[in-house]
Structure 1
Amino acid sequence: MDLLRRVCTSADGQLSLLHRLKTATFWADAAYTSAHPYALEAYRTSLQLAECAFVAYPICEVRHDYVLKETQSVATDAASCAIENKDLTIAVEMLEQGRALLWSHLRKLRPPLHMIESIDPHLRDDLLRVTQALQVFALSFDASTQDDDSPRTPGSAMLIDDVGARFKEHRKLVTELDTIISTLRKVPGMERFFLVPSYDMLRDVTSEGPVIIVNHSKHHSDALILLHGGSPTRVPLDRGFYQKVLEMTERLCQAQTYLGKKPKKYEKELREILADVWLLLGRPVRDALVSLGVDKGSRVWWCPTSAVSALPLHAAGPETIASEQGEAKRRKRYYFQDFYVSSYTPTLSALLEARKYASVGQAAAGRATQRNPPDKPSLLVIAHSGGNLEQVPKEVAIMRAIHRRFKRTKFLQGRDAKRESVMRELREHPWVHIACHGSLTPGEPFKSAFRLSEDDRLTLADIMGSRIPNAEFAFLSACHTAEQTQGSASEEVLQLAAAVQFCGYRSVIGTMWAMQDLDGPSLVANVYESMFAEAGYPDEMGFKRAARALHSATRQMRKDGAMLEQWVNFVHIGA
């Protein structure tokens, strides 16, 4: 163990970062298995090396393929080790440090420049220059990632042929950034600049409701419930949870081949999976929330890790409960949805970011109440009814019918829905509704896309490079928008909905798999009706009503006799 420790912590340059990372993960697992006191230190070292190795590679696909896949279980196993040591706050910090490295790195490259301005304007300018240059590298892709007709970014691999020069320039910028960071950390109050948020900083994520982290580890799995003003509460999960989740996600993936072809077979498989999710996770978490005093009907946020992120936790169930009506007794089936209003978040930092307001208008919207409603937002509707999307025109008609709810409404359809025009108009409208085909490319997450027309797409890579500062709400009425591509790094949450949230949208509605075309119009009508209803929760106005609006609309789908896969498919992400 001492030899492994020396190899991993040595900075003599004899071993590559990737080699040291692989050695550190081996050291950590070996130390944990043998109950060695170095175990937690070994996992800390692995997480630090994972970050360093990630930053060292300038091309997005390289980071994903060669670094992220080497570290897929490091954060969850590290958290498991911390939980076993009863260090629950450290477990939360480790998960935040080691998951979603891509999104976390990009978020760091958009620092709060206004804070630096008052410290040193020249340092602020240097930081802006370096982070913008690093963003070009961070968002550059191999030529194969982009369509032949897609515009090339300044950092595109198509424009930089000399790989050696590329790495050299990137390394120079990283070194310059490290110098700036070191200078800033010497300023009182800036000691944690660019560091992973501490638990004291992360705990603000519970200001509007509990957050449930589900840690999926080969060592042991747990749910950690974070409540406002308190320490995390551990909910130990079944010893077989780890393997059963892997089996369930594989079953769900295989079952989706039946979707649209053998609906009854898919329904049966989905029903069995949801029942297992309830027994393994839904019921233990529900019981813990009740014991912690969380009222029925409250909002909760799920933060799943690893393969758990592919499961519809919000729809776990049912639990059959006997009830009395007059003299008659009957048994009623309850899903998790009947107890709490669920939202999802990829990480705690993503949810904290979604609750920030980048403008005075957004701050007003965030503080809005029924007595002080927010200003009307402007809406962008992007629609493409090609292929078999016969209901999209009805969906567009519904949006036209409610246009008076908005300050102004812009519709992009057909030839008007070009990638360049879409990206331009997104910056002008805080709300967006997208109704079109959504597509995934197995093994190539950055090619996930919205089909804007027969020959134009808006890809995940396009969205990653965008920044929509005044964005609020996005309704992604398309297939697969909250689903990860098969073969992608599961801890990176590389899906369209997460990308839309990252680029600025604080509240997002998406889909976990292919949606039925017939579901669009009625669901859309019910969601927007609930969002603009006068009655409701006084502290939730504007985009913050989306979660309850979706919750209400999907419960109505159940009452109307919808199949499981129809109402379970829709999820809310963010604030």
Structure 2
Amino acid sequence: LTPSESPELSGRLNNLGIALQTRYERLGGLNDLERCIQSYRQALDQSTLELATSTQLYSNLGLALTTRYYRTGALVDLQQAIQAHETAIAQTPEGSTALPDYLINLGLGLSVQYERTKSLADLERTIRALEKSLKLISPTSTNLPTLLNMLGIAWRYRFERSGKVADLERSIEVLKEAIQKTPPDSPRLLMAMTNLSGGLRFRFHVTKTLQDLKQGIEVLQKALERTEPTSPDWPVRLNNLGSAMKDLYQHSGKPADLKKAIQCYRQAAESSLNVATSGSLNTAATWGNWAFERQSWDEAVEAYHFARRAADQLVQIQLVRRSKEIWLQDVQGLADRSAYVLAKVGDYKEAALALEQGSARLLADALGRDRADLERLKESSHPELVEEYHQAVGRWRELLLKEQHPRPGTLSDAQLTEALQSTRAELDGVIANIRQVPGYERFLEPPTFEDLSKAARNQPLVYITSTTAGGLALLLHPGSPVTVNPVWLPSLSNRSLREILGDYFDTYNQWKVDPGNRSLRDTWFASLDRTTRWLWDAVMEPLSAVLEPYFEVSLIPVGFLGLLPLHAAWTEDSEAPSGRRYALDARTYIYAPNARSLHTARAIASRLEADTILAVDNPQPVTASSLPNSRREVQAAISTFSKSQTFRQEEATREAVLTALKDYHVLHFSCHGYANLTRPLTGGLVMAHDEPLSLQDLLNLQLTDTKLAVLSACETGMPGTELPDEVVSLPTGLLQAGAASVVASSWSVADISTMMLMFRFYHLWRKEGLQPSEALRKAQIWLRNTTNEEKAVFFKDYLVTLPDSQAPADAVDSFIRSLATPSIQTSDFAHPFHWAAFKYVGG
């Protein structure tokens, strides 16, 4: 054994790491790779380390971390790999013979990162590093073929971005040179052959020259024949061959080519699941989508099964939210297609489970972790595990906050990553111990059908989704057992949904820029009418027949459907006061991100009273206009509670409101709000001095007593569009924080109609004793159907019952006079714009 103080120890640890990495490349044993990384890091910790050895170690560590990223998909490994390569280059003087190799390694890390992020900056940095290496490298260097191979890939990526055939020709030219310069017995030759095959296939797509495709298949088959089935490269080459055979089948139509393509995809998806998880996801999704196009439903079920398993592993292994979100971008729509094909083969329960597992994963994970039911564990033989779990979760949440809000003088990025990894390992260990206790074997495991059935035990639950082939609703009927019925929605295709949303948001955004423009307002109103009319034909009419027996239904609209007001879908009805029959006329619709969050929300609601309220009233000063009816609205709300606190205007600072939120059962925000569809975590509510109370702020809260949050502001219910399956929005943020239910808006609402709606809502809930969800529905119908005169009578009777301090006489008179228009026998608020924006989310 080498003494720890020996100057030779770091070199020997480096050699051990190299040997372990070489064996991993041959045999694929993950333990070898883990020990390799450990050896490099241990060597870097030696106090006697020389600069030259340190530089080499950083480079080797970067390569090993990149290799582990390929294996597991952990983005933190890739980020640390790039940092290690940058350190190696920074420590290397210009003119060093080692510099070209270190530039190659940096180019590799950046290239892999580009594959993940598709950031043009990453691609340009990749090419710069590799081109610089090409200028410096010796013509006799053994690494020249590797450099040429990587440069060929980078030029192909450039072609994919630019569409310039010259970039593709450059890629093929460089890859052919790489093959010429690679010794015939070198494993690197197979990599160059694989990449050349890909380039030829790309050129086939451009030129339609069949010879390119056939030559690419021939080259790839030769590479595959020389690849060990245990090698991490085996599934990669199988996947590429599957894609090439798919192209050949689409040209030839020969069953043998189809069979070969499916065989390659199947083997690649299965063999890569535990050695290159990201590759398994890519293979299985490509295969599944192709089977979906051919309506080969059983085959698609098999392929998507692999894809879902890989997606679960990739998301689960990430440490922080933004890393999870990067992988989640790749799986948007996977749950929709999986559910559709499962329903096609008659497996309706598994179809519902696919949608549940793919909807709002981050919310479900957080609720499961933070709201875990450990009561029975306290009475078990291991009650100490309860405290261990809560402590580990507390440390984990604290580190996540530090990662989101780094401060100078605290942990460095490397220290924070190490702390996150060790705390995650500690938490995983406690979870594993809890699973050893009888009754907790499935603690925090992925959901089963039984888990989602809990949300439908006493009330029907409907998942609604769209695909390229059409839409599907899955109705979970209450009872024991819960049963599932499909409702096919042929008009709800992704294409039709995109067209509707395009018109909807184009007209909406134009009106938002100039809300005083009558023409733009009318155009937006007409678009809202078209959208909600289409929703009736495409979704709600087919559902209505099967929902006939039910008076309250929970809806889980998946993906972009969550942007639309399903409850406001309508059809013509001459007997209705407005000439229209709307979906909410028949029953109450409650929205939910997924079944697990709905079940959790109901459990929270069942143990809470609604005796106290915190209100935020028209925060000032803000850039946006003041809300003239805000005070009346807030007065109506707080007058129905025995205990209240109100932050008015300058008092409504972000810090003051955040501090007080946790102490009240009901939260009412009468203020300005905004949504950021592409960066939803930055959307939120506007507090005094234009301080944002953002979605990110809400995600960091821990609310224990909040039964209902009413977000009486603009766009408070609009989810982000970058990850539509995740339903990232203010309501989901509040549900994650611990609120039982949320009332939120789907567009920029009008001050006066919102005030009237909220008056009526609190009256029906607090005075007449209706459930909040039903009170909102009836308030919306009332606002829509009653005449201006009927509204004036209601408010005159209602406002005068309030104490003068809450409703000054001149304010009451002024408001009632505003309703006494010449059209007093009509309703100025019948259009869905005025009443349909708000929806009820949660329990």
TM-score normalised over the length of structure 2? 0.59
Deviations 1:6-64 (A, max 9, x none): 4444479753x434322332233244445274533432332232222223333323322
Partners of 1:347 and 1:59 in 2: how far apart?
Answer: 22
Match of 1:147 in 2: none
Q: CA deviation at 1:347?
A: 0.6
Counterpart among 276, 279, 288 of residue 537 in structure 2:
279
Using the aligned pairs only, state the percent identity: 21
- C-alpha contact 1:437 1:478 (8 A) present in aligned 2: yes
1:8-23 to 2 correspondence within 5 Å?
A: 8-10=269-271, 15=276, 17-23=277-283
Counterpart among 390, 398, 409 of residue 644 in structure 2:
409
Counterpart among 735, 738, 747 of residue 501 in structure 1:
735
Q: CA deviation at 1:77?
A: 1.1
Which SS does the other structure have where 1:193 is aligned?
coil
Q: CA deviation at 1:89?
A: 0.8
Partners of 1:165 and 1:331 in 2: how far apart?
Answer: 63
Deviations 1:531-566 (A, max 9, x none): 1233x5xxx5xxxx2211111121122123313212
Counterpart among 383, 386, 390 of residue 121 in structure 1:
383
Partners of 1:36 and 1:388 in 2: how far apart?
Answer: 53
1:65-76 to 2 correspondence within 5 Å?
A: 66-76=326-336
* Counterpart amino acid of residue 210 in structure 1: P
Partners of 1:8 and 1:232 in 2: how far apart?
Answer: 30
Counterpart among 823, 826, 832 of residue 564 in structure 1:
832
* Counterpart amino acid of residue 337 in structure 1: L
Match of 2:659 in 1: 424
Q: CA deviation at 1:174?
A: 3.5
1:130-149 to 2 correspondence within 5 Å?
A: 130-138=392-400
Partners of 2:541 and 2:676 in 1: how far apart?
Answer: 35
Match of 2:588 in 1: 341
* Counterpart amino acid of residue 452 in structure 2: L
Which SS does the other structure have where 2:467 is aligned?
coil
Q: CA deviation at 1:163?
A: 4.0
Specify whether residues 278 and 90 from structure 1 end up closer, same or farther in structure 2 by C-alpha distance, changes over 3 A only.
same
1:522-541 to 2 correspondence within 5 Å?
A: 522-534=756-768
- C-alpha contact 2:573 2:581 (8 A) present in aligned 1: yes
Which SS does the other structure have where 2:678 is aligned?
coil
The number of equivalent residue pairs is 527
| Structure possessing the higher radius of gyration over alpha carbons | 2
- C-alpha contact 2:667 2:708 (8 A) present in aligned 1: yes
- C-alpha contact 2:356 2:452 (8 A) present in aligned 1: no
Specify whether residues 102 and 141 from structure 1 end up closer, same or farther in structure 2 by C-alpha distance, changes over 3 A only.
farther
Q: CA deviation at 1:314?
A: 0.3
Partners of 2:398 and 2:300 in 1: how far apart?
Answer: 37
- Unaligned ranges ≥5, structure 1: 143-151, 324-329, 366-375
Q: CA deviation at 1:316?
A: 0.4
Which SS does the other structure have where 2:697 is aligned?
helix
Partners of 1:236 and 1:3 in 2: how far apart?
Answer: 33
Partners of 1:45 and 1:353 in 2: how far apart?
Answer: 29
Partners of 1:240 and 1:353 in 2: how far apart?
Answer: 30
Deviations 1:186-220 (A, max 9, x none): 33322221122222232221244322210222244
1:25-424 to 2 correspondence within 5 Å?
A: 25-33=285-293, 35=296, 37-64=298-325, 66-110=326-370, 111-119=372-380, 120-138=382-400, 152=405, 156=406, 162-229=412-479, 230-238=482-490, 241-259=493-511, 260=515, 261=517, 262-290=520-548, 293-294=549-550, 298-320=551-573, 332-357=579-604, 363=607, 365=609, 377-383=611-617, 384=619, 386-392=622-628, 394-400=629-635, 403-424=638-659
Specify whether residues 157 and 245 from structure 1 end up closer, same or farther in structure 2 by C-alpha distance, changes over 3 A only.
farther
Which SS does the other structure have where 2:590 is aligned?
strand
Q: CA deviation at 1:522?
A: 1.2
TM-score normalised over the length of structure 1? 0.85
Which SS does the other structure have where 1:526 is aligned?
helix
Partners of 1:407 and 1:227 in 2: how far apart?
Answer: 39
Partners of 1:454 and 1:520 in 2: how far apart?
Answer: 23
Deviations 1:234-261 (A, max 9, x none): 1111155332112111211112124323
Which SS does the other structure have where 1:58 is aligned?
coil
* Counterpart amino acid of residue 707 in structure 2: E
Q: CA deviation at 1:117?
A: 2.7
Q: CA deviation at 1:113?
A: 3.3
* Counterpart amino acid of residue 345 in structure 2: N
Specify whether residues 41 and 129 from structure 1 end up closer, same or farther in structure 2 by C-alpha distance, changes over 3 A only.
farther
Which SS does the other structure have where 1:232 is aligned?
strand
Deviations 1:413-465 (A, max 9, x none): 23322222212211110101001111223521110111111242211001001
1:455-534 to 2 correspondence within 5 Å?
A: 455-485=690-720, 487-534=721-768
Which structure is higher in strand share? 1
* Counterpart amino acid of residue 300 in structure 1: V
Partners of 1:101 and 1:133 in 2: how far apart?
Answer: 22
Partners of 1:72 and 1:413 in 2: how far apart?
Answer: 42
- C-alpha contact 2:366 2:736 (8 A) present in aligned 1: no
Deviations 1:445-487 (A, max 9, x none): 11011111124221100100111111101110111100023x4
Specify whether residues 482 and 140 from structure 1 end up closer, same or farther in structure 2 by C-alpha distance, changes over 3 A only.
farther
Q: CA deviation at 1:137?
A: 5.0
Larger deviation: 268-277 or 166-175? 166-175
- Unaligned ranges ≥5, structure 2: 1-261, 786-826
Which SS does the other structure have where 1:488 is aligned?
coil
Which SS does the other structure have where 1:432 is aligned?
strand
**Runs ≥4 in structure 1, deviation > 6 angstroms?**
157-161
Specify whether residues 6 and 289 from structure 1 end up closer, same or farther in structure 2 by C-alpha distance, changes over 3 A only.
same
Match of 2:688 in 1: 453
Q: CA deviation at 1:71?
A: 0.6
Which SS does the other structure have where 2:646 is aligned?
strand
Specify whether residues 158 and 463 from structure 1 end up closer, same or farther in structure 2 by C-alpha distance, changes over 3 A only.
farther
Partners of 2:521 and 2:377 in 1: how far apart?
Answer: 57
Partners of 1:270 and 1:167 in 2: how far apart?
Answer: 47
Specify whether residues 363 and 4 from structure 1 end up closer, same or farther in structure 2 by C-alpha distance, changes over 3 A only.
same
Which SS does the other structure have where 2:604 is aligned?
coil
